[in-house]
Amino acid sequence: MNVIAARGGWAGTTTDTQHRFPVLDGMRGVAALIVMAMHAAFLFPLAAVAVDLFFGLSGFVLAYSYADRLGSWTQRKQFMIARLIRFEPLWLVGCAMTIPAGIGMAWFGWSDWGWTMLAISIVTAPLFLILPYFGTSIPLNPPGWSLTF
């Protein structure tokens, strides 16, 4: 029996809604909130575990949801384009919001920031490029590393 038959139809049909994982979705939501709180105020000392939990659960849910829709190169390409359209605008807004902080860090010599690092990060950040910066992979949006996986 193939995945489609096991699910009772194609993903997106009314029968597919019967195969949701409400408990896993809830756990993903809690893990995401803990990670968000950690990035905002370091309230949870074990928030890194929530990152791992969120990635593990998300990987399962996404793989299950898209298993029968990514069979060909064309379908995979359409999926990647849709993901890029979904994430890139918000990613660019987040990076643009941090440019003033980067300018301040370069101007006052805070941390390892300098004008060269700021220029490189402005050029590479919109492309989701992970480069070996000083202590962080994406200086303009450090939590953004998670979007590259």
Residue range 26-83, pLDDT digits in tens:
888 888 888 778 766 666 676 778 778 888 888 888 888 888 888 888 988 998 898 8
Rg of the chain on CA atoms, in Å: 19
Question: Which single residue is written with the structure tokens 């990647």?
Answer: 80
State pLDDT tens for residues 96-147: 888 898 888 888 887 677 888 888 888 888 887 766 655 666 667 777 777 6
Report how far residue 15's alpha carbon sits from residue 41's, in angstroms, rounded to the nearest whole number. Answer: 42
Same domain flag for 41 and 95 = no
- Name residue 25's amino acid: D
Q: How many CB atoms lie within 10 A of CB 100?
A: 9
Q: 11 pLDDT band (50/70/90 cuts)?
A: very low
For the chain, the domain total comes to 2
Please indicate, yes or no, whether residues 141 and 111 belong to a single structural domain of this protein. Answer: yes
Report the first-to-last Cα separation within the chain, whole angstroms.
Answer: 31
Q: For residue 87, is pLDDT > 60?
A: yes
Are 47 and 94 within one domain? no
> What pTM did the predictor assign?
0.59
Residue 113, by phi and psi: left (phi above 0), alpha (psi -120 to 50) or beta? beta
**17: containing domain:** 1-69
pLDDT of residue 52: 82
Which of 23, 38, 69 terminates a domain? The answer is: 69
Q: Look at residue 74 in the predicted model and tell me its pLDDT.
A: 92
93 and 37 assigned to the same domain: no
